[in-house]
A and B are shown apart, each in its own frame.
Chain A
Amino acid sequence: MLGFNDYLLVSVILFFVGALGVLFRRNLIYILMSLELMLNSINLTLIGLAKYSNDTNPQVLILLILVVAAVEVAVGLGLAINLMRVKKTVDVDLFKSLKG
């Protein structure tokens, strides 16, 4: 029988998969997808919490996080398109004009 801790474990694993993706992927689109994965893994925790407690708050919070995630991706894709126009690439290794 699945318990809340299993949900938590899966979402923690997914969260860190996403985090590693952001850190080590070199393509901007993959990075944006990994960010989305991080946010949605947080939703999974809340889903588990909503299932195993008689509490409706987590469901509200999920909707809220979904909206924020949508905004985040919209802004990110806009920036990516702008970068594409200016630099003609989405490979983050080539963004070297500011030596970071």
Chain B
Amino acid sequence: MNAHILLPEIILSITAALVLIIEFLTPRRLQFTGTVTILGILLALFYDLSMFRNAGVGFFGMVKVGPFDRTFDLVFFIGAILLILLSFDYFVEISGEFYFFILTSLIAMMLLAKSIDLFMIFLSLETLSFSLLGLIGILKQKEFVAEASMKYYLLAAFSSAFFLFGIVLTYVVFQTTNISEISNKLFASGLTGIKPALIVTVVLILVGLAFKVAAIPFHMWTPDVYEGAPAPVVAFISAGPKAAGFAIILKIMLNGYQSHPELWSSIFAYLAVLTMFWGNLAALKTRNLKRMLAYSTIAHAGYVLVAVVSANQQAYAAIVFYMLSYTFMVFGAFSIISMLGDSHSNLEDYAGLSRTSPILAFMMAIFMISLTGIPTTSGFISKFYVFMSAAKTNHIWLVVFGFINGAISAYYYLRVVVFMYMMDTREELAIPYFPFLRSVMWIAVIFIFYLGLFPQKVFEIIISAL
């Protein structure tokens, strides 16, 4: 059965059980439970990295582990650790189930990146949705939170039903749910006679995945959930699960339907353009920073979809690099939003921040500049790699649309900077000193510049893992 290839996941499961027991014995000791969680995650990370080069198939051919999946794991681990650090300062008193849900969503994301069986993917997807639901709804007495979690639940269940239907129809066509067997059968038989059925299955599966990566037409939940959910959780949702969604898209479309790109390539191209434009145009008129970042995350999903369309080795690496750098950008921005508080996330609350707390304003400016994609920051490099891979495979029109969108997005990102540096405060916001939020902010800034100035080394590691 080869159980050792999932050792990191097993360690995390044990930690999750342990966290529940600790919570039962010593309720509401936030930092203690959190520290246990972090230790478990670090142990799992250690084993993950020590087995980095080991590849293998296990669990009755349902899980396939290789270096490439482990690079995705890195993104998930970083997201989980940063979320726990943010939670120490952000939440005054919550139950330890919060950490349990972090761990289960981490396990689900790692399994998503590794599973090669469609049913395994479906189960991990459901686990991920429900764990995230627990994180979103952790402050369930608040009206906003109750509503946001209900909206997330409805769309998650709706889109996963489509995904499931797609899987079952795939089973009807191929008599198997294993992705590599599907690939072999498709390669052997060709498309004769099954092309319409296959297009239906691809579209149905795509609906389920579009929800996870917040692409059009299943993006409606993003603005509401982002506005209603606690800021640290929002940062987590827009980093890890999105990377997991792209890992699955790569797996199903590029491995499973590899021999026939005409089935999905053009669908993704249109999806990428629509998602980019819709996200950026909708962000122009919002005046709430959390809502604006929700639209911006939709736009960023569009940029990554451009890389999915080009589907070569460099595109694979570009996607991982993009998600890595996006994790740091979004956690940095949300660490500052957490400092000001969820109820002060309107643009007006940020007016004159450069005078009241210059360091925070400067950092926020860096995050916004990086999200825009201006050189020396990681945002530029990651966009550069994505568009490079698209240009190499002659998708020039996608690159052109990408640059137009970059220009549009500059307006609303830099408007935040304008508000912070050129407007006067209406009311003085006293921001207490939060050690953990600040450390996350510094970590994010350091990595944004490291990835922005010396991307070569990280990129080579990712390429060599392919």
Which residues of A come within 8 Å of B, CB atoms? Answer: 8, 15, 18-19, 22, 28, 31, 35, 38-39, 42, 45-46, 49, 53, 55, 57-58, 61, 64-65, 68, 71-72, 75-76, 79-80, 82-83, 86-87, 95, 97-98, 100
Bound complex: CA A64 to CA B220 (Å):
29
Given contacts A42-B165, A87-B143, A95-B150, contact A76 B157 (CB under 8 A): yes
Asked if B147 is at the interface (CB within 8 A of a chain A CB), the reply is yes
In B220-239, which residues have CB < 8 Å from any A CB?
220, 223-224, 227-228
Given contacts A42-B165, A61-B171, A79-B137, contact A72 B146 (CB under 8 A): no
Per CB-CB distance, the 8 closest pairs between chain A and chain B, nearest first, are A38-B161, A98-B224, A100-B224, A86-B146, A83-B146, A95-B147, A35-B157, A79-B150
Q: Cβ of A97 and Cβ of B168 under 8 Å apart? A: no
Q: Cβ of A22 and Cβ of B130 under 8 Å apart? A: no
A22 contacts which chain B residues (CB < 8 A)? 154, 158
Given contacts A31-B154, A68-B123, A98-B228, contact A82 B164 (CB under 8 A): no
Q: Cβ of B168 and Cβ of A83 under 8 Å apart? A: no
Which residues of B come within 8 Å of A, CB atoms? Answer: 119, 122-123, 126, 130, 133, 137, 140-144, 146-151, 153-154, 157-158, 161-162, 164-165, 168-169, 171-172, 175, 220, 223-224, 227-228
Q: Cβ of B158 and Cβ of A64 under 8 Å apart? A: no
Bound complex: CA A77 to CA B169 (Å):
29
**Residue from B153, B169, B228 within 8 A of A79 (CB atoms):** B153
A-B contact count (CB 8 A): 94
Bound complex: CA A72 to CA B160 (Å):
10
Q: Cβ of B143 and Cβ of A86 under 8 Å apart? A: yes
A28 contacts which chain B residues (CB < 8 A)? 150
Q: Cβ of A97 and Cβ of B144 under 8 Å apart? A: yes
Cβ of A72 to closest chain B Cβ, rounded Å: 5
Q: Cβ of A97 and Cβ of B147 under 8 Å apart? A: yes
Q: Cβ of B149 and Cβ of A79 under 8 Å apart? A: yes
Cβ of B54 to closest chain A Cβ, rounded Å: 29
A-B contact pairs, 9 of them (CB 8 A): A15-B161, A19-B161, A22-B154, A22-B158, A31-B154, A42-B164, A61-B119, A86-B143, A100-B224
B171 contacts which chain A residues (CB < 8 A)? 46, 49, 57-58, 61
Cβ of A14 to closest chain B Cβ, rounded Å: 11
Bound complex: CA A64 to CA B171 (Å):
15
**Residue from B130, B147, B158, B162 within 8 A of A75 (CB atoms):** B130
Q: Cβ of B168 and Cβ of A75 under 8 Å apart? A: no
Residue of A nearest to B148 (CB): A98
Given contacts A42-B165, A61-B171, A87-B143, contact A71 B126 (CB under 8 A): yes
Given contacts A22-B158, A72-B157, A82-B140, contact A42 B130 (CB under 8 A): no
A79 contacts which chain B residues (CB < 8 A)? 133, 137, 146, 149-150, 153
Q: Cβ of B224 and Cβ of A83 under 8 Å apart? A: no
Bound complex: CA A83 to CA B224 (Å):
16
A55 contacts which chain B residues (CB < 8 A)? 175
Bound complex: CA A64 to CA B62 (Å):
15
Residue of A nearest to B227 (CB): A98
Cβ of A71 to closest chain B Cβ, rounded Å: 7
Bound complex: CA A98 to CA B126 (Å):
25
Bound complex: CA A39 to CA B137 (Å):
24
Residue of A nearest to B133 (CB): A75
Given contacts A35-B158, A38-B161, A58-B171, contact A82 B153 (CB under 8 A): no
Residue of B nearest to A49 (CB): B172
**Residue from B119, B172, B223 within 8 A of A45 (CB atoms):** B172
Cβ of B306 to closest chain A Cβ, rounded Å: 27
B164 contacts which chain A residues (CB < 8 A)? 39, 42, 65
B148 contacts which chain A residues (CB < 8 A)? 98
Cβ of A35 to closest chain B Cβ, rounded Å: 5
Bound complex: CA A64 to CA B122 (Å):
11
Bound complex: CA A100 to CA B151 (Å):
10
Bound complex: CA A98 to CA B147 (Å):
8
Bound complex: CA A72 to CA B157 (Å):
7
Given contacts A68-B123, A87-B143, contact A100 B168 (CB under 8 A): no
B153 contacts which chain A residues (CB < 8 A)? 75-76, 79
Cβ of A24 to closest chain B Cβ, rounded Å: 13
B157 contacts which chain A residues (CB < 8 A)? 35, 72, 76
Cβ of A56 to closest chain B Cβ, rounded Å: 12
Cβ of A70 to closest chain B Cβ, rounded Å: 12
